[in-house]
Amino acid sequence: MTRDRTDARRGAVAVVAAVSMIPLVGVLALVLDAGLLMAERRRAQSAADAASFAAVCAYKSAIDADDGQSSQAAATAAAQDYAAANGYSSGANVTVTVRSPVAPSRYAGKAGAFQVLIVSSQPRLFSAIWGSDDIDVAASSVSYAKPTAPPSIIVLNPNAQGSLTTDGGASLTTAGEIHVKSNHALAGSLTNNSYVKATGLQIAGGYHHAGATLDVDPAAIRTGADPTTLKDPWKDLPLPSSAGLTPRPPPAVDRPEKTVTLDPGLYTSGLKMTTGQGGVVYTMNPGLYFVRGGDLQVGNNVHLTGKGVVIFVEDGNVKIEGGDGVNLQPPTSGTYKDVSIFQRADKNPITEMYTPRVLNVANGTDNVIGGVIYAPGAAASFAGGSNNTSAAGKQLIVNTLNLSNNAVLNLPGWPEGASVSCYLVE
């Protein structure tokens, strides 16, 4: 009797084990195939990442070369080549698509963004017991050639309170960021109906904002920024030499004539453009104006123009006060390409303080200065309704910056385009 019961139990266990093997084998098949598909997914993702990044690099290179090659075609070809090099060429079981990203990508519709989509059809192995259709493995990658514009304004003083100050209805508008290197808790002071617009605001310290309009995306405002990241891009600009320059006499203080032409050279008693009765138009011929032993000054009722001009102020200040407007365009080539005014200021390597200088623009002047104003030691002041535009969209680099009394300062951006960096973003 005992033996019969034991045999019966063994038979029951065998039946249960046999029935259980069916789902167990199915699950095992799914697990094994899933592992193989995950390995394929990783391989396809690596290929898509390499292909999308190759696309944006080729896109950037084609733009930089400016040789008539289509940047879009170059990007597509590079992506397909890199996908093929990683084992994915469009064919019977693989599709490689190169396109502009589509929603919900954050980069949908952005110029310079490329999405590579790889779809690989994989045959079933162990899971063929569940069906015969191939399984699609998809991988997507987005890379972006991001324009990186240089900051429009850089304020270099390392510790001053009010290093950047706007008040009295002043207006400051830039196409790029504003960088303030001061680590003071009140490095910035934006008050009294002033207006500030920029793509970003980075301050090593903090700022006070009361009664002013700050038109900056809050996500692009950063206080407590590492001052070492707020760099002076012109710090290695070499000082010009006066050797070989033609000595020039200073313009007469009172000019009876209405038009005066100035030539480049060495001005050893400063360069002061003033007038007597009525306005005078000064025209600067192209070249380097080396100003030594005094200030660069544009006085009342003076209209100053110059193209291909760079003015180097060796040991004086810059004063543009109550004039009839300044229109200066910088050289387009050479060491001082894009520089309109270069005011020397030596830096103490220990304190990081510069030789103090002054840059003053005031009293209703209407100015277009097309290049960089590089005055790293200057306490710069724009006041009294002065209207100042950097028409070519360059930079203002000073030690401190104060805008007041309805002054307007506008830097529209770099027309030749910003530098481009390539990123793998999604």
Q: Which one is predicted more confidently, 67 or 37?
A: 67
Q: Which one is predicted more confidently, 121 or 400?
A: 400
Q: Which one is predicted more confidently, 191 or 324?
A: 191
pLDDT at 413 over 50: yes
Domain residue spans in the chain?
A: 2-148, 153-418
* Nearest Cα to Cα of residue 141 among 159, 165, 115, 122: 115
pLDDT at 15 over 60: no
Q: What's residue 390's pLDDT?
A: 47
Instruction: Compute the C-alpha angle 144/145/150, nearest 5°.
Output: 125
Q: What's residue 391's pLDDT?
A: 40
Average pLDDT over residues 245-257: 80
Q: What's residue 137's pLDDT?
A: 79
Q: Reduced to 3 states, what is the DSSP secondary structure of residue 176?
A: coil
pLDDT category at 347 given cuts 50, 70, 90 is: confident
Q: What's residue 219's pLDDT?
A: 84
Query: Cβ distance 261 to 305 under 8 Å?
Result: no
Q: What's residue 116's pLDDT?
A: 92
Summarize pLDDT for 85-100 with one digit per residue, the tens.
998 888 888 889 898 8
Longest dimension (CA), the chain: 139
pLDDT at 245 over 90: yes
Say how many residues make up the chain.
Answer: 426
Strands 135-148 and 113-122: antiparallel
pLDDT category at 418 given cuts 50, 70, 90 is: low
HSE (side-chain half, CA atoms, 13 Å) at 400: 23
**Radius of gyration from C-alpha coordinates of the chain:** 33
- Region of poorest pLDDT, from 353-362, 363-372, 389-398: 389-398
Positive/negative CA dihedral, 55, 58, 64, 67? negative
Instruction: Compute the C-alpha angle 406/205/420, nearest 5°.
Output: 80
Q: What's residue 92's pLDDT?
A: 80
Return d(Cα 314, Cα 217) in angstroms, integer: 39
pLDDT at 236 over 80: yes
Q: What's residue 12's pLDDT?
A: 62
Return d(Cα 114, Cα 118) in angstroms, integer: 13
CA 210 to chain centre: 28
Q: Which one is predicted more confidently, 83 or 278?
A: 83
Residue type, 270: G
Average pLDDT over residues 390-394: 51
* Nearest Cα to Cα of residue 271 among 260, 262, 279, 280: 262
pLDDT at 383 over 80: yes
Summarize pLDDT for 120-163 with one digit per residue, the tens.
887 766 555 555 677 777 889 999 887 777 889 999 999 999 99
pLDDT at 282 over 70: yes
- Region of poorest pLDDT, from 210-214, 228-232, 251-255: 251-255
* Nearest Cα to Cα of residue 157 among 372, 368, 397: 397
Q: What's residue 145's pLDDT?
A: 83
Q: State both tokens at 248.
A: 């020039």
Q: What's residue 195's pLDDT?
A: 95
Q: What's residue 238's pLDDT?
A: 96
Return d(Cα 359, Cα 168) in angstroms, integer: 19
pLDDT at 29 over 60: no
Average pLDDT over residues 240-269: 88
Average pLDDT over residues 111-122: 87
Summarize pLDDT for 309-341 with one digit per residue, the tens.
999 999 999 998 866 678 999 999 999 999 999
What DSSP line would sit under 236-274, residue for residue? Answer: TPPPPP-TTPPEEPPPPSS-SSSEEEE-SEEEBTBEEE-
Query: Cβ distance 96 to 88 under 8 Å?
Result: yes
